[in-house]
Structure 1
Amino acid sequence: MRAGRHRAVPSAQVVIAVLIVIAILPAGATVLAPLALALLAIALLWPVQHRVQTFLPRYIALLVTLAVMMLALLAFGWISTWSFGHVGGWMIDNTARFQQHYDELRQWLEEHGIDVDVLWADNVGTAWAMRVVQTVTSRINSTFSFWLIALTYLLLGLMEVEDFESRIRAMRSPVARRLLLDGSRETAQKLRRFMRIRTIMSITTGLFIWLFTSGVGLPLAKEWGAIAFVLNYIPFIGPLAATLLPTVFALIQFDNWQSAIAIFVGLNLIQFTLGSYIEPRVSGNALSLSPVVVLLSVFTWGYLWGIFGAFIGVPISIALVTFCRHHPSSRWVPELLGRGSKGDGV
């Protein structure tokens, strides 16, 4: 009885600790979410800085590394702005078509006993417009703060990587030393491989979406390909949005359900083939999480941290499962959650 009681206490403590962490995560999003992004960026950028440091001073290498990151972010931001901006411009130019379809939908709803004007008056007005303006302003301010905090973490982290490794090597506990060193190295390698494969598959998805929409005569084919490339970085949610948007526009453009459904099926076939068949085989068992865990990661972290959480959720799960693999008491976690059958998959 006494031995069983001693075994039960640590388990209860672990459960309580996990619940406390889950409760803290939403409240600490302002600090923890930029930290998570900075750690991912450090894992991706450190090999670049390490190579540059072989022939340039440390701080100049840091500036070069940050310049590479800024160029990549600017390119990604330009693609996003260009594609969504063109789609928005097309919507403005075709306002009459949207108005026509809205009138047809309103007439159909009214024929079925739904008064759209009453719903519109109840939900849309001056107060609603003010809430929208306040929400947009708040999001802009929070986004600026988010990137400023993340950049600060990134600068300090890149300067401390080597010193932090030295401090880990000096730790007295061999278990903790091995866990932190091996776990950090393997996590960084897997995150780099994950982002490399995700980028390649996003480019491939964008090209196929562009060719398909161009072949069926849908306007803005290049823009739909670019949007598919951008949104493909968010598993499940991004590809779904990348298929729904062109489908809605196909309905407006071709003015019939058959064409819209055919385009929706074609787009989903591309997304399913690349995302659910080819990408797991390119990734291999050494990297892949179980599809259920990937979906759970996207929705859980998206619920905690919003759209950024949906993006960063899978890398966080990869890191957690990888660290669990390097401790004897938690090796069952990758065996349960990984795609591989021998416990080596994350």
Structure 2
Amino acid sequence: MALQRVSLWAFLLVLFFYLITVGEAILIPLLIAIVVWYLIDILADGYHWLHFKQWRLPFFLCFILSILTFLGFSWLFIHLINSNIGKVIAVAPTYQANFEKLLIQIFSWVGIDELPNFGNLKDNINIPQVISTIAISLTNIAGNAGIIFLYVLFLFLEEKTFHRKLKRLLAHNPEKEKAVEQILCQIDEDIKIYIGVKTLLSILTAVISFFIMWMVGVDFAAFWAILIFFLNFIPNIGSIIATIFPSLLALVQFDTIYPFLIIVSALSVVQFLIGNFLEPKMMGSSLNLSPLVILLSLAIWGSLWGVVGMFLCVPIMVIMMIVFTYFPKTRPFAILLSENGYIRLRYKEKIADD
């Protein structure tokens, strides 16, 4: 029996990875659409929360305003990508040349006239290739905007009939219907908290970083701010990479080292304050993934879906951990995915798992 169960799990795991590899073109826009769907719901709740004395905006109007707000941000994102992408790729060879000169200077300062396998090092640290890969990934996301919004539309249509389907499905057991609906509401609320807080803090980090880079005079500050926004969804590692990229650019762009020192110190302070003080206060520490899980997720999803998979992997793992938490048979997986074994379970009643 145990061998059959292990074989079944192994088969399902292989089938899962096969399906996500084959269905990449469908699943990536769908996953982004789910995040967008949640963001629009969060914005609508935010508009509904605002009120003047006893008067609140009707929820339908809040929903319309949230869609318009999101469309405005989407237009800004696509505009910034389209207006900066070609320029960044065009100037990348110049950055590469400046980087190679900088390496030669550094080695001469420490008394090394020639670095062994220096040609291989230059090939491995290829700035144009790195920038082009990131740029193509961001362009693909912007290019899929139409199909993403189509998915979002159908998700909202499905949302209207979901509770009716749930009632029909569990009509024979009213107690279980109530319990399942309560669990789904808690899962939905936890996912909203994660996506809403993480998106808000990512925007805040990107905006502050943009003004720092703009004041220093770093090229294409808006492009790097967008990259920082996406990298901020990756805990720990993302903040490090988000600091390294603009700092290296400042190092190869300017003739003096002072802009580099300003950028690396200022961005590090921003990432440290938001990541270690503001985010735990707003979200709590119960949704933090294990660092090992993050590294493995980056490696696996990056190899399957490239740069976009690396951006999406942590939100996917966090949502999986939230869902696993609320079902007894999958709760051990949530504990294994967590950083310290502590998971948040706000619904305390015992729920049948059959």
**Aligned with 1:29 (options 24, 30, 38):** 24
The match for 1:152 is 150
Counterpart secondary structure, 1:308: helix
**Structure 1 residues 323 and 38: CA distance shift in structure 2, 3 A:** same
Q: In the alignment, residue 285 of structure 2 is paired with which amino acid?
A: N
Write the distance in 2 (CA, Å) between the matches of 1:37 and 1:340.
29
The match for 1:314 is 314
The match for 2:34 is 39
Match status 1:14 vs 2:18: no
Write the distance in 1 (CA, Å) between the matches of 2:296 and 2:205.
23
| Long gaps (5+) in structure 1 | none
Write the distance in 2 (CA, Å) between the matches of 1:273 and 1:139.
29
Write the distance in 2 (CA, Å) between the matches of 1:8 and 1:116.
52
The match for 1:170 is 168
Q: In the alignment, residue 162 of structure 1 is paired with which amino acid?
A: K
| Long gaps (5+) in structure 2 | 49-56, 347-354
Checking the alignment, whether the CA contact within 8 Å between 1:288 and 1:345 is kept in structure 2 is: no
Q: In the alignment, residue 20 of structure 1 is paired with which amino acid?
A: L
The match for 2:216 is 218
Counterpart secondary structure, 1:329: coil
Write the distance in 2 (CA, Å) between the matches of 1:141 and 1:220.
22
Matches for 1:58-69 after TM superposition, within 5 Å: 66-69=67-70
Write the distance in 2 (CA, Å) between the matches of 1:49 and 1:282.
19
Q: CA RMSD in A?
A: 4.8
The match for 1:282 is 282
Write the distance in 2 (CA, Å) between the matches of 1:152 and 1:190.
25
**Structure 1 residues 285 and 239: CA distance shift in structure 2, 3 A:** closer
The match for 1:72 is 73
Write the distance in 1 (CA, Å) between the matches of 2:7 and 2:176.
22
Counterpart secondary structure, 1:285: coil
Write the distance in 2 (CA, Å) between the matches of 1:213 and 1:62.
35
* Count of aligned pairs: 321
Cα displacement (A) at 1:12: 3.1
Identity %: 20
Counterpart secondary structure, 1:289: coil
TM-score (norm 2): 0.68
The match for 1:344 is 344
Checking the alignment, whether the CA contact within 8 Å between 1:87 and 1:220 is kept in structure 2 is: no
Q: In the alignment, residue 223 of structure 1 is paired with which amino acid?
A: A
**Structure 1 residues 99 and 187: CA distance shift in structure 2, 3 A:** same
Write the distance in 2 (CA, Å) between the matches of 1:313 and 1:149.
21
The one-character-per-residue Cα deviations of 1:258-304 (angstroms, maximum 9, x if unpaired) are 87467435533432343245423431134433344344444433332
The one-character-per-residue Cα deviations of 1:195-242 (angstroms, maximum 9, x if unpaired) are 32223322443455356557xx73239927834653444415543343
**Structure 1 residues 213 and 30: CA distance shift in structure 2, 3 A:** closer
Checking the alignment, whether the CA contact within 8 Å between 1:233 and 1:311 is kept in structure 2 is: no
TM-score (norm 1): 0.69
Q: In the alignment, residue 303 of structure 1 is paired with which amino acid?
A: S
